A and B are shown apart, each in its own frame.
Chain A
């Protein structure tokens, strides 16, 4: 490797120093002159009519600056928060999109729905005054479960959405699928629940709104993964602020996992109210508010059927899913159980016919949207669970059944029956790499050894594929996306040869300041210290779509490559002039521009200086300066894939599951920084293990109250819940359609892990006749299974 900070090097992160010394700047660390504090007043009821709000007593409390309600926003013609993806029903009609006002107007529709905002001199005064607000609620019946919400007679979330049905959508060839089922030698059926989760980025959401009377400019500091998207949605759709008068800054952001993609009510509230009170307003969520108002994830109830021939070849897959949207459509909610879920139902298999039906329901719960993986973990879980069940029913080894049905690498590019075209992937290789690592051959012995210790040992596979860097914009647009899906980059060389890169992509833990700098260091042979990566401020960076769906490197990195291509093209012309050579004779390597066949060369630094001090410069042909911008719109998704293998031991006495080993073999295409990639996989795996064994967002079905509203009830994975992992990858199958060959690695761990863990748990419990267990597989659930089965077994 030419450059120690180049592509493929485990460069230690450049952002770490500030985080390790407490000098990061997260939104709540920012304080603006004259700042006030907002307390959001939340509905304690899942469903209630708001008959009146009496603000008099609260307004008289010390330090109170203002109190606003939905009526005030209505008077200012504030609109609802828009949904970014229009789904069409089977019959071609559009989905139902009831308005989602930042401050509820006449009705509260979930616990935590925002009904008023109290603004005061201090946070404590705002909270005290909020307590004094008198709100006349008339409680109404509520429904929390999506399945129940679709039943006749269910309480209505929106009066104009009959049956609470947001949409009834489908994908695939129903007739071909039904025909394949009619021919099948065997059909495996599985009912499963993909449990609701709360994303729980460790930094609670926060927002500061500010208005400058002199310039008429609004500024919003916010905990966002995509500041330009927030500027567009809030400016154009909600508040009617033109974009040149609205700056959105997402500074250091403490994790997102999808939950900070969306435009939230509080952002609009503080931005709007800051102008009204003429002072900056800060709002920071308490963790309980995060539980109630950060968009949740997953929450699917599905029936899956797999048709097989007598040799175990998959013939068709049929899926019916009910997805919970919550009370309102969050920014990308509608796309998750459709284009990010059903399109992935082929998995790694050559199943010729697939048909999926998805009904999305409104309920009196917090909105549900993308959470790490977003649709793809749900698809992977369903496929990998039913494949395991089919293997058990047919008595075929679980690795072998997968192997038999993999799309072979020779078949790439492979058109699935559910719209996607995989560009590359060698699924068999992933599996064959994993088997010796996990010592599959020694499994029987390990099970026996465990038994001798009174433990039940099981193994679980998940051979997953996902689609990242959602694209291209025109196709996504035809499918209902209301946004572009490109990314931007600007490469600005400075006169003395250092570089600032402006990216529309956003880092909230992924390490862009390191990885993106590696791309530039590698390309121009520069020391990494000379490169600065700027992101997260709409007044600095070109319009970009931000970071989600593992898109940063595949889309944002590709935009950066395009911008560097432009820089290089111009630099070549300047080099030719400086060395009095023909442009065609200029060779470029590691930032050195030389004349072929001579020892004449200039560095990019010298070229930059010539570009900004153009004394010896082709001014007739070329503009001065060395600063180029590019936008990149991908031609296709990228398709990271891999084989995850989990081994568990269950203590039948207590029902406790211990993850004893977890191995991930992944194909992420080309890897820029192995250290960072492995870190992404580790974090993803633990979120998957969390879903499988610990985490569960529970609503009370009668009252719609969130039962798991804090870390006392919602079980977050902690250091002693998980082991260390074995993470491997290969770079044999680079992405064919982006210039870096990269595929994305941010969600893979989460996509594979929950299926691998549950498959392992079911394997461990096989002797109790268990063929499925819903997540999370808590000790209580397992203990009950063991208890109920034991007498029966003893009687045999």
Chain B
């Protein structure tokens, strides 16, 4: 059965017809062509599909498009600044070689950003536990952890700078 959903995706309002069973991840990838969000499993365990819904990280493979009608969704494509400047977390992943094949990366980065939002000063242990829902087969996590710790610091100083400027 067709339903109409209206979402704000990466700042743009979109209205589309969807089937009831359409998953958010398929809506993003196939209806909107935002293929940065990946599907790595069918049991909601790998985190390749993580996006932000109203600022919180969500596994888009376990969310129906109709469930998020009216919400604001940010995908990996919407994380960098409009001028292309990488988000501090993206920059930290590059600096510390926190990605190899890049397949887990969008979900990993989106999870990491939310992790730091919840806990701006995470320890290594916090990062490891916080990313427990994201599987990476390539990096052995070593450089991901380094990247997230650096990204957290950069996000803190970024928001400090913002506060100081206000």
B38 CB to closest chain A CB (Å) equals 7
8 Å CB interface, A412-452 against B? none
Report the bound CA distance from A149 to B100 in whole Å: 39
Knowing A202-B103, A202-B137, A683-B138 touch, does A22 contact B77 (C-beta < 8 A)?
A: yes
Report if B66 contacts A (CB, 8 A): no
A22 adjacent to B75 (CB under 8 Å): yes
Contact B100 A510, beta carbon cutoff 8 Å: yes
B36 touches A724 (CB 8 A): no
Is A23 touching B77 in the complex (CB atoms < 8 A)?
Answer: yes
Residues of chain B contacted by A710 (CB below 8 angstroms)? 41-43, 45
Cα distance, A254 to B136, chains bound together (Å): 10
Q: Which of B79, B101, B131, B135 has the most CB of A within 10 A?
A: B101
Cα of A202 to Cα of B34 in the assembled complex, Å: 19
Contact B103 A22 (CB under 8 A): no
B129, B131, B134, B138: residue with the most chain A Cβ atoms closer than 10 Å: B138
Nearest B residue (CB) for A718: B132
Interface status of A511 (Cβ within 8 A of chain B) = yes
Q: Which of A159-208 contact B (CB under 8 A)?
A: 200-204
A614 vs B34: C-alpha distance when bound (angstroms): 47
B143 A682 Cβ-Cβ under 8 A:
yes
| CB–CB B35/A725 < 8 A | no
From residue 112 to 162 of chain B, which have CB atoms closer than 8 A to chain A? 124-125, 127-129, 131-132, 134-146
Question: How far apart are the CA atoms of A31 and B32 in the complex, in Å?
Answer: 13
Q: When chains A and B are docked, how far (Å) is the Cα of A511 from the Cα of B101?
A: 8
**How many residues of B are counted as interface, with CB atoms below 8 angstroms from the partner's CB atoms?**
57
Across the two chains, which residue of chain A brings its CB closest to B28? A22
Contacts of B14 in A (CB 8 A): none
Docked pose: A675 CA to B139 CA in angstroms = 12
Digitize B17-41: 1 where CB-to-A-CB distance is under 8 Å, 0 elsewhere.
Answer: 0010100000001100011111111
Nearest-neighbour CB distance to chain A for B18, whole angstroms, equals: 12
- Tell which of B1-9, B52-60, B88-96 binds the partner: B88-96
Contacts of B93 in A (CB 8 A): 16, 20
Chain B residues near A717 (CB-CB < 8 A): 141
Docked pose: A355 CA to B128 CA in angstroms: 45
Contact assessment for B145 and A724 in the assembled complex, using a CB-CB cutoff below 8 Å: yes
Q: Chain B nearest CB: distance from A559 CB in Å?
A: 23
Residues in B with CB closer than 8 Å to A19 are 99, 101-102, 105-106
Q: Is A140 an interface residue (CB 8 A)?
A: no
A686 proximity list for chain B (CB < 8 A): 140-141
Cβ-based interface call for B48 (8 A)? yes
CB of A484 closer than 8 Å to a CB of B: no
Shortest CB-to-CB span from B20 to chain A, Å, is 11
Task: Please state if B140 and A683 are interface contacts (CB–CB under 8 Å).
Answer: yes
A508 touches B101 (CB 8 A): yes
A254-B102, A255-B100 are known contacts. Are A203 and B40 too (CB-CB below 8 A)?
A: yes
CB-based nearest B residue for A724? B142
B128 touches A719 (CB 8 A): yes
Chain A residues with Cβ below 8 Å from B38 are: 26, 202-203, 254
A21 to B36 alpha-carbon distance, docked (Å): 7
| A660-689 at interface with B (beta carbon < 8 Å) | 675-676, 678-687
Contact with A along B73-99 (1 / 0, CB 8 A): 001110110000010001001110101
**Which of A13, A676, A680, A719 is B131 in contact with, Cβ under 8 Å?**
A719
Cβ-neighbour of B128 out of A26, A255, A720 (below 8 A): A720
A244 contacts partner chain B, Cβ-Cβ < 8 Å: no
The answer to whether A719 and B127 have CB atoms under 8 Å apart is yes
With known contacts A21-B36, A22-B106, A203-B101, A682–B86 Cβ distance under 8 A: no
B92 to chain A, nearest CB (A): 10
Kindly state whether residue B65 has any CB partner on chain A within 8 Å. Answer: no
State whether B86 touches A722 (Cβ < 8 A): no
Q: Is A315 located at the chain interface by the 8 A CB criterion? A: no
In-complex Cβ contact of A201 among B86, B95, B137, B143 (8 A) = B137
Closest beta carbon of chain A to B147's beta carbon, Å: 10
In this complex, what residue of A is CB-closest to B131?
A: A719
The answer to whether A21 and B80 touch across the interface, beta carbons within 8 angstroms, is yes
- Binary contact track A478-509/B, C-beta < 8 Å → 1, others 0: 00000000000000000000000000000011
| Cβ-defined contact, B21 with A124, below 8 A | yes
The reply to whether B40 and A511 form a contact with Cβ atoms under 8 Å apart is no
Q: Which of A715-743 contact B (CB under 8 A)?
A: 716-720, 722, 724-725
Q: How far is the CA of A23 from the CA of B106 in the complex (A)?
A: 10
Which residue of A is nearest B19, CB measured? Answer: A124
User: CB of A17 within 8 A of chain B?
Assistant: yes
A712 to B129, CA, bound (A): 18
Complex: A16 Cα to B139 Cα, angstroms: 14
In angstroms, Cα B107 to Cα A20, docked, is 10
CB distance from B138 to the nearest CB of A (A): 5
Does A624 count as interface, using CB distance less than 8 angstroms?
no
A683 and B97 form a contact (CB under 8 A): no
A118 to chain B, nearest CB (A): 18
Contact A719 B134 (CB under 8 A): yes
Task: Decide if A676 touches B97 in the complex (CB within 8 Å).
Answer: yes
> How far, in whole Å, are A510 and B102 apart by their CA atoms in the complex?
10
Pair A202/B40 contact, Cβ less than 8 Å: yes
A residues less than 8 Å from B77 (CB atoms): 21-23
Report which of B39, B48, B144 forms a contact with A719, defined as CB distance below 8 A.
Answer: B144
A148 within 8 A of B: no
Q: Which of A21, A29, A510, A720 contacts B76 (CB 8 A)?
A: A21
Shortest distance from the beta carbon of B123 to any chain A beta carbon, whole Å: 12
Asked if residues B129 and A722 are in contact (CB atoms below 8 Å), the reply is no
Residues in B with CB closer than 8 Å to A203 are: 38, 40, 101, 103
Contact of B109 with A725 in the complex, beta carbons under 8 Å: no
Nearest chain A CB to B69 CB, angstrom units: 20
A12 lies within 8 A of chain B by Cβ = yes
- Asked if A252 is at the interface (CB within 8 A of a chain B CB), the reply is yes
Distance of B98 from chain A, by nearest CB (Å): 9
- Tell me whether A20 and B103 are in contact (CB under 8 A): no
Nearest opposing residue in chain A for B33, CB measure: A31
Given contacts A202-B104, A255-B103, A683-B140, contact A718 B41 (CB under 8 A): no
Does A8 have its Cβ within 8 Å of any Cβ on chain B? Answer: no
CB distance from A281 to the nearest CB of B (A): 16
B42, A288: Cβ atoms closer than 8 Å: yes
A237 at the interface (CB under 8 A from B): no
Separation in Å of the A676 CB from the closest CB of chain B?
7
Say if the beta carbon of A253 comes within 8 Å of chain B. yes
Check if A15 is an interface residue, CB within 8 A of chain B: yes
Known: A711-B46, A718-B132, A718-B135. A683 touches B100 (CB 8 A): yes
Q: Which residues of B contact A20 (CB under 8 A)?
A: 76, 86, 90, 93-94, 99, 102, 105-106, 109
Given A255-B100, A679-B100, A200:B137 Cβ within 8 A = yes
Say if the beta carbon of A546 comes within 8 Å of chain B: no
Contact A204 B40 (CB under 8 A): yes
Given A19-B105, A202-B104, A722-B140, A13 contacting B45 (CB threshold 8 A) = no
Question: Within 8 Å CB of A13, what residues of B?
Answer: 94, 97, 99
Which residues of B have CB within 8 Å of A716? 135, 137
CB distance from B84 to the nearest CB of A (A): 8
Contacts of A685 in B (CB 8 A): 140
Contacts A21-B80, A23-B77, A686-B140 known; A679 to B46 CB distance under 8 Å?
Answer: no
A508 to B42, CA, bound (A): 22
How far is the CB of B96 from the nearest CB of chain A, in Å?
A: 8
Specify which chain A residues have a CB less than 8 angstroms from the CB of B42 in the assembled complex: 286-288, 710
> Do A724 and B137 have beta carbons less than 8 Å apart?
no
* B-chain residues with CB within 8 Å of residue A681 when the two chains form the complex: 140
Report, nearest first, the 8 A-B pairs whose CB atoms are least far apart: A22-B36, A19-B102, A254-B103, A509-B101, A682-B140, A509-B100, A686-B140, A22-B76
16 new A-B contacts, CB < 8 A, other than A202-B138, A685-B140, A724-B142, are A12-B95, A15-B102, A16-B102, A20-B93, A20-B99, A23-B77, A200-B137, A201-B101, A202-B48, A204-B40, A252-B101, A287-B40, A287-B42, A682-B143, A711-B41, A718-B135
Supply 11 A–B pairs (Cβ within 8 Å), ascending by A.
A12-B94, A16-B94, A19-B105, A20-B94, A20-B105, A28-B35, A252-B102, A287-B42, A678-B97, A710-B43, A712-B43
